[in-house]
Chains A and B, each alone.
Chain A
Amino acid sequence: MKIHKYDTVIVGAGGAGMRAAIESTKRSRTAVLTKLYPTRSHTGAAQGGMAAALANVEEDNWEWHTFDTIKGGDYLVDQDAAEILAKEAIDAVLDLEKMGLPFNRTPDGTIDQRRFGGHSRNHGEAPVRRSCYAADRTGHMILQTLYQNCVKEGVEFFNEFYVLDQLITEVDGVKKSAGVVAFELATGEIHVFQAKSVIYASGGTGKFFKVTSNAHTLTGDGQAACYRRGLPLEDMEFFQFHPTGIWRMGILLTEGARGEGGILRNKDGERFMEKYAPVMKDLASRDVVSRSIYTEIREGRGCGPEGDHVYLDLTHLPPEQLDAKLPDITEFARTYLGIEPYTDPIPIQPTAHYAMGGIPTNVAGEVLSDNDTVVPGLYAAGEVACVSVHGANRLGTNSLLDINVFGKRAGIAAAEYAHRSDFVELPENPAQLVVDQVERLRESTGNERVAEIRKELQETMDANVMVFRTEQTIKTAVEKIAELRERYKNVSVQDKGKRFNTDLLEAIELGNLLDLAEVMAVSALARKESRGGHYREDYPNRDDVNFMRHTMAYREVGKDGKDSIRLDYKPVVQTRYQPMERKY
């Protein structure tokens, strides 16, 4: 076991982690621990753009953006946070441009902007061009630009270091962050990083679904590490299903395709979104479009012999426009489906995409241990966190924005905290939990296989807690997850070695997914209403009287050593926008 000491440790090197690192490295001695090489992070898969009311191509302002974000989140958004997001968006985009990001340009040479779902002029009048973009690889360009600037700033990376535990020490009755424990993939060695401040920026949890746009590596590692140490997870029942994943594969096809004029059609060729969202049509918010697609499919208007998908039609757009604005997604259709998007519509279905919930933080990125107590020295930003700027449903282009605005805020806050604070003493045997976990898995002779349990988990999640949920389906999922968690105790790995043991890594990741899937299902069961991405067929309406509040899920361990989930609730911050019925 090795012990390292840094002022600030950042867990994860996607957009949020690297944006934080650029700030904290200037101000404090910083280490970035990442289980992948930084440029492999899933920020790079984001396509369509980053929202900011630059008003480069038409009238726009950050107040309209704030409203759209709150409405898009079905009023579960904390309005003070949404205002910060929309206001600081403008500088966030300009910062990236100055760092070198090659945005597409207008004829005047300014940053070009295009339409995106849920972003509107004057509180819902018509779609507005607010998304700043670089073709359909905006996330790729953000990830590359931030990495380039990390190289420039001399950010210190520990590549292929997998953080498995959050260390917390109680000082004078206050629980403080003391550091993290990491597993070095190349050697199997355990490292303890003592740090004055820790920032989680480790991304989402999408791999508990089968059809998902998420990378294999998105297994909720940061959420799980904090949750196991008794910290709450907020709004985990809210998961976004992106309307246009490649049929059966789930690979993302950007909403920018509809922003450029693409149209969703059913088997009769009908532009069905006109029925569900008369004003915004194909550019309604993602939860609305995904439910509309599944309604078409359920009512027998889906395409193909099994009627299990619809079409994204780009055939009316000029090939030059597709080549210039959507080169990557048209290539995905060619590579993975053998479809020519110039002439053929693309078969699509909704795909699990984004966790609105996560580790609760305030607007400075400080992690909360209950509804209002801050954990000194602990921060989170990006998809791992829940500020909450996305509420019950995130708007497209607001996640690339979130990672930049709150990544920067967390980086500054964590470094400043490190400046004014001393190291917190490490707990006794700081690596014990991780050593035990790793050794138990390596030495287990149980007869359960990781791949089989993961497959059954993904199947039950797709079948029971996707776009449409009922008490019955969620209970089915809860029971199945409990069975899988029990079976997980008998899981074993074939690779018993130290070096690059990805077999062992996958087993640990599965443990995280199982814990988080349970939190999601239990949170969803208790929310007896429909709001944003959480749709209950048995409670089809939003219930502001009983459920205008954030879910806070805590892990509790009983005297018998068994763990259970305790749910609590936190009020939503409302400033100037009163909840209204949501229409697009």
Chain B
Amino acid sequence: MATPTTLDKLEADSTTSHLITVTFRVRRFNPEVAAEASWQDFQLEIDPKERVLDGLHKIKWDQDGSLTFRRSCAHGICGSDAMRINGKNRLACKTLIKDLNPSKPITVEPIKGLTVLKDLVVDMDPFFQAYRDVMPFLITKGNEPTRERLQTAEDRERFDDTTKCILCAACTSSCPVFWNDGQYFGPAAIVNAHRFIFDSRDEAGEQRLEILNDKDGVWRCRTTFNCTDACPRGIEVTKAIQEVKRALITRRY
């Protein structure tokens, strides 16, 4: 087995330390301390192959324990740590320092459009309310079969992309329509409606389409593709929204 060069380089690099100094410019807010939010700079030593989340931990653990953010799994699955990093929505645990031009300060802010509670922590309740409003669960009629419902591999593939959603809110909080009007369902709720509308086993597509036909529903989407760019799971969010719009017109799904 020939060992390719990227692997060689990765392994060789591991024996030496490559710490660099970076500045994290973090948006701080704590109403117990001050009414207004402000920027605070932190300098830290970090390996560029580490994650932005590692940098935030270094600050919290070594410099300022009051820095507050949510995180859990640290590898892009739990959806806790969506934040605005250098002006773009990303997961802090999936963003490596080396991919950010660390010679300049790295800005870290809470995601937009949701009320900031403290530092990088926002109120997620409106986000989850919009999700709940699209009836995000399988609805079927008639008697249940004894064994599993059958579904062809093609029918299963039809909604595969939208099953990847981790409800991190990176898409919804990158949407200019949502920023201006929090009543809009937002991309994540539509993605989760799509996941059921296009599931061949589900029998409540019409009801979900009617919910999204609302004035705060899919028609508010201006196809800016911010959501697709922001999705850390690579879901084609805008395409899913377009498919829901088309289903509303054709009533075929």
A534 within 8 A of B: no
**A-facing mask of B120-148, CB < 8 A → 1, else 0?**
01001000100010001110000010011
* Bound Cα distance A451, B153 (Å): 48
**Among A168-176, A287-295, A489-497, which stretch is in contact with chain B?**
A489-497
Contacts of A345 in B (CB 8 A): 1, 3, 7
What B residues does A108 contact at CB under 8 A? 150
The residues of A that contact B119 with a CB separation of less than 8 Å are 500
Task: Say whether, besides A97-B149, A347-B7, A102 and B160 are in contact (CB < 8 Å).
Answer: yes
Q: How many positions in chain A have a CB within 8 Å of any CB in the partner chain?
A: 75
Most chain B C-beta atoms within 10 Å of own C-beta, residue among A265, A494, A495: A495
User: A500 and B80 in contact (CB under 8 A), knowing A94-B147, A303-B11?
Assistant: no
> Which B residue's beta carbon lies closest to that of A96?
B148
Give which listed residue, A141, A217, A340, contacts B163 with CB less than 8 A.
A141
* CA A495 to CA B68, docked complex, whole Å: 10
- 1/0 per position for A302-343, CB-CB distance to B under 8 A? 011110000001010000000000001001100111111001
Min distance, Cβ B54 to any Cβ of chain A, angstroms:
10
A216 touches B163 (CB 8 A): no
Q: In the docked arrangement, what's the CA distance between A418 and B96, Å?
A: 49
Considering only residues 503-535 of chain A, those with a C-beta below 8 Å from chain B are 503
A39 CB–B CB distance under 8 Å: yes
Smallest Cβ-Cβ distance to A308: which chain B residue: B14
Q: State whether the Cβ of B12 lies closer than 8 Å to any Cβ in chain A.
A: yes
Interface 9-residue window, one of A4-12, A62-70, A148-156, A566-574? A148-156
A338 engages B148 (CB within 8 Å): no
Contact indicator A109/B78 (Cβ below 8 Å): no
Contact between chains at A450 and B163 (CB < 8 Å)? no
B62 touches A451 (CB 8 A): yes
A99 cross-chain contacts in B, Cβ below 8 A: 137-138
Taking CB atoms and an 8 Å cut-off, the chain B residues in 41-86 that contact chain A are 60-62, 64-66, 68-80
Contacts of B179 in A (CB 8 A): none
Interface string of B188-221 (1 = CB under 8 A from A): 0000000010010110000000000000000000
Contact present for B78 and A215 (CB under 8 Å): yes
B198 to chain A, nearest CB (A): 11
A99 to B119, CA, bound (A): 38
Does any Cβ of B come within 8 Å of A40's Cβ? yes
In the assembled complex, A561 has its CB within 8 A of some CB on chain B: no
| CB proximity of A221 to chain B, nearest CB, Å | 13
Interchain CB contact under 8 A, A451 and B61:
yes
In contact, B72 and A36 (Cβ under 8 angstroms):
yes
Say if the beta carbon of A111 comes within 8 Å of chain B.
yes
Flag whether B249 is at the interface (Cβ < 8 A): no
The answer to whether B137 touches A36 (Cβ under 8 A) is no
* Bound-complex Cα distance A102 to B33 (A): 47
> A413-447, CB under 8 A of B: which get 1 and which 0?
00000000000000000000000000000000000
Inter-chain contact A248/B14, CB cutoff 8 Å:
yes
In the complex, are the beta carbons of B6 and A305 less than 8 A apart? Answer: no
Tell me if A100 and B150 are in contact (CB < 8 A).
Answer: no
- Greatest chain B CB density within 10 A among A141, A343, A503 is at A503
* CB–CB A148/B138 < 8 A: yes
User: Does residue A137 face the partner (Cβ distance < 8 Å to B)?
Assistant: yes
In the assembled complex, which residues on chain B have CB atoms less than 8 Å from the CB atom of A332? Answer: 75-76
CB pair A305 B65 closer than 8 Å: no
Decide if B156 touches A149 in the complex (CB within 8 Å). no
A202 to chain B, nearest CB (A): 13
Check A134 for interface membership: any CB of B closer than 8 A.
yes
Query: B4 to A343, Cβ gap below 8 A?
Result: yes
In whole angstroms, how far apart are the Cα atoms of A335 and B98 in the complex?
Answer: 12
Question: Are B152 and A109 in contact, with the CB atoms below 8 A?
Answer: yes
Residue from A44, A269, A449 in contact with B166 in the complex, judged by beta carbons closer than 8 Å: A44
**Closest chain A residue to B167, Cβ basis:** A39
Task: Report which of A186, A500, A503 forms a contact with B60, defined as CB distance below 8 A.
Answer: A503
A494 contacts B150, C-beta separation under 8 Å: no
How many Å from the CB of A98 to the closest CB on chain B?
6
Which among B148, B150, B160 has the greatest number of chain A C-beta atoms within 10 A? B148
B19 sits at the interface (CB 8 A): no
Q: Which residue of A lies closest to B148 (CB)?
A: A97
B75/A304 in contact, CB under 8 A: no
A102-B160, A102-B199, A344-B7 known; A40 vs B79 contact (CB < 8 Å): yes
A105 partner residues in chain B, CB cutoff 8 A: 151-153, 156
- Point out the residues of chain A lying under 8 angstroms from B36, CB to CB: none
Contact A45 B73 (CB under 8 A): yes
Interface residue? A37 (CB, 8 A): yes
A229 interface residue per 8 A CB criterion: no
A contact residues around B62 at 8 Å (CB):
451
Shortest distance from the beta carbon of B85 to any chain A beta carbon, whole Å: 15
A347 lies within 8 A of B65 (CB): no
Residue B245 at the A interface, CB < 8 A? no
Q: Does B94 contact A (CB under 8 A)?
A: yes
Interface contact B118-A499, CB-CB below 8 Å: yes
Q: Is the CB of A500 within 8 A of B7?
A: no
| Interface pair A215/B199, CB less than 8 Å apart | no
Q: How far is the CB of B36 from chain A (nearest CB, A)?
A: 16
Type the 1/0 row for B24-39, where 1 means its CB is closer than 8 Å to any CB of A: 0000001111000000
B6 pairs with A102, CB closer than 8 A:
no
Taking CB atoms, residues of chain B closer than 8 Å to A347 are 7, 10-11
Cα A493 to Cα B60 in complex, Å, equals 11
Bound CA span A108–B78, Å? 33
* Contacts A98-B144, A137-B164 supplied; 15 other A-B pairs, CB < 8 Å: A36-B78, A44-B78, A97-B149, A107-B153, A151-B137, A216-B73, A337-B10, A449-B61, A450-B61, A499-B32, A499-B117, A499-B118, A500-B119, A502-B69, A503-B60
4 smallest beta-carbon distances between A and B, as pairs: A100-B138, A451-B61, A494-B65, A109-B150
Mind listing 5 A-B residue pairs with CB under 8 Å?
A: A44-B77, A100-B201, A303-B11, A344-B4, A497-B32
Q: Identify the A interface with B (CB < 8 A).
A: 36-37, 39-42, 44-45, 93-94, 97-100, 102-111, 134-135, 137, 140-141, 144, 148-149, 151-152, 186, 215-217, 248-249, 251, 265, 269, 303-306, 313, 315, 328, 331-332, 335-340, 343-345, 347, 449-451, 493-495, 497-503
